[in-house]
Amino acid sequence: MEKHSCSNCQCDISGFRIRCAECPDFDLCLQCFSYGAEVGSHRKDHRYRVGSDSPPSVFDNPDPWSLAEENMLLDAVEQYGFGNWEDIANHVESQKAPECQDHYINFFVQGNIGKATFPTEYGFRVSDHTCPDGGPLSPSITVPVPPLDLSIQEQQELGYMPFRDDFEREFDNDAETLVSGLSINHDDDDLDIEIKLCQVDKYRLRIRERERRKKLARDYGLITSAASTGSKQSKSQQQKKKMSKDVREFQEKMKSFSQFHAAAEHEHFFDDLQKEKELKSRIKELSRYRRHGLSVISEIEDFEDEKYRREKKKENRKKMGSSTPTKRNSTVSKKAEGKVEKLDILIDDDEVKDEDTEEECKEMASQPGYEMLSERERKLCNSIGMTPANYSTIKTCIIKDYLQRRQGFPVKIRYPSGMDKTHRRKIMSFLSDNGWIGVT
């Protein structure tokens, strides 16, 4: 390679040099040209051209690459991908794989081109949604919540699955119907797509409201309180089974008013209505006594005792009159008289209850439905040896039969199996005397 020296400073020129276009064989180095050196007939305003002993290169490199090599390197990286340096070197042919790698990284990645292409600061930064601070993709979202301490029965009553933190029927359970049939078709125009996106937004808001309610229920312990309330309701249902049929029907009718007050207030309201009903029944009973000229409690007891004595005598006379002179029928009549004597609920003032009668009263007081009976009804059940539940059933059947017959419906009522006809007549007589049914 021919070497050139500066005509001014006589130093060897490496790289670019300035050749004068008017003076023959006159070269200057870049430093002398910048000073405006003038030697002999050469003037600094002469025309010039830039010359170099090495081929032109894009980058200032001690071992410069030609323009053709630079283009082949860029084409190879685009074709084979960044990192496949062996294939890139085979494409360039004049350079080896390590040289291709160093040259591309130094000038196209870390050099000025790389700095302009890959800026270190961005105008818009994408926020990290996977951060543990509660982003939509936060790992804490996938962490299962601790299951609530609920029994199997409470879980079944609530329809709640603690390990999944889900209910069998969620709030707004039909929200998925908004998007269940949505799909993007190739023939959808912009309006169709916007409508479908609006439906997706509505579904997202409804799901967000569902999650908000569920979180609110967990934070404030509403799930456990609902479970305790359900257990209380199950207890109230057990108590409800002990109620009579009329009371249960009345309670069902009063459910429509439960929307206006709390559960405790509704229960207090129902108790007050029951007391009102009992008081009205008692007032009606006392009015009947007043019509008979009674005004003292002791007179009422004597009146009832005398009334039952007269009824007993009438029944005895009827049975004695209907008996035949045969030996068998006389035996039956004696048994019937014995039963009638046992069914007598009247107690004379001079008589005193024995220990067996007191024990029977205590046993009957512990049976369900005893508190729903009046004092006279309790005496009746105690005298005939009938449980309060059976008495309430027979009483309901008799009253329903009477009401349906009054309306003109021919009804053949069915009493409990094994029931004594004498007991039924006694109960019908009792209900007739107390105004529950008319005289038949």
> What pLDDT is attached to residue 393?
82
Burial class (CB in 10 A: 0-12, 13-18, 19+), 391: buried
Most confident of the following: 34-48, 108-122, 340-354: 34-48
Has residue 62 got a pLDDT over 80?
A: no
Q: How many CB atoms lie within 10 A of CB 52?
A: 14
CB-CB contact of 31 with 11 (8 Å):
no
Q: What is the DSSP string of 58-127?
A: SS--SSPPPHHHHHHHHHHHHHH-TT-HHHHHHHH-SS-HHHHHHHHIIIIISSHHHHHHS-SS-SS---
State the Cα–Cα distance between residues 92 and 69, nearest whole angstrom: 6
Report the distance separating Cα 11 and Cα 8, nearest Å: 8
Q: pLDDT category, 238, cuts 50, 70, 90?
A: low
CA 117 to chain centre: 53
Q: What is the DSSP secondary structure assignment for residue 295, as one 8-state letter? A: -
Confidence band for 87, pLDDT divided at 50, 70 and 90: very high
334 secondary structure, DSSP code: H
Question: Measured between alpha carbons, how far is 20 from 269 in angstroms, rounded to an integer?
Answer: 118
Burial class (CB in 10 A: 0-12, 13-18, 19+), 381: buried
Higher local confidence (pLDDT), 5 or 136 = 5
Distances from the Cα of 85 to the Cαs of 104, 249, 324, in angstroms?
10, 90, 130
Q: Is the pLDDT of residue 73 over 50?
A: yes
Residues 379-424 pLDDT 10s: 888 888 788 888 888 888 888 888 887 777 776 666 666 677 777 7
In sequence order, the 6+-apart residues with CB closer than 8 A to the CB of 89 are 95, 96, 97, 99, 100
What is the predicted pLDDT for the residue at 134?
A: 52
- CA atoms of 230 and 331, how far apart (whole Å): 59
pLDDT at position 327 over 70: no
Q: Which of the listed ranges 77-91, 132-146, 260-274 does the model predict with the highest average pLDDT? A: 77-91
Considering only 174-178, 273-277, 294-298, which range has the smallest mean pLDDT?
294-298
Structure tokens at 378: 């309790």
Q: How large is the average pLDDT for residues 51-80?
A: 80
Question: Predicted confidence band at 344 (pLDDT cuts at 50, 70, 90)?
Answer: very low
Q: Provide the percentage of residues in the chain whose pLDDT is more than 70.
A: 75
- Higher pLDDT, residue 360 or 428: 428
Residue 139 clears pLDDT 80, i.e. is over it: no
Average pLDDT on 375-379 reads 82
pLDDT of res. 418: 65
Is the pLDDT at 235 greater than 60? The verdict is no
Q: Report pLDDT for 198.
A: 92
The stretches of 161-189 forming alpha helices (DSSP H) are none
Q: Answer whether 89's CB lies under 8 Å from 101's CB.
A: no
User: What confidence category does residue 223 fall into, taking pLDDT thresholds of 50, 70 and 90?
Assistant: confident
Q: What is the mean pLDDT of the chain?
A: 76
Give me 131's structure tokens: 């951060």
Listing DSSP states for 366-422 in one string gives TSTTGGGS-HHHHHHHHHHT--HHHHHHHHHHHHHHHHHHHTT------PPTT--HH
- Beta-carbon contacts of 426 under 8 Å, excluding residues fewer than 6 positions away, are 343, 380, 384
Which residue in the block uniquely carries the two structure tokens 């009718």?
253
The DSSP H or E segment spanning 28 is strand 27-28
Q: How confident is the model at residue 250 (pLDDT cuts 50, 70, 90)?
A: confident
pLDDT above 60 for 333: no
Q: Enumerate residues 6+ apart whose C-beta is below 8 A from 95.
A: 65, 69, 73, 89, 103
- pLDDT score of 325: 45
Q: What is the dihedral of CA 261, 262, 268, 269, to 10 degrees?
A: 20
pLDDT average, residue stretch 48-77: 79
Torsion of CA 229, 235, 236, 239, to 10 degrees: -170
What's residue 352's pLDDT? 38
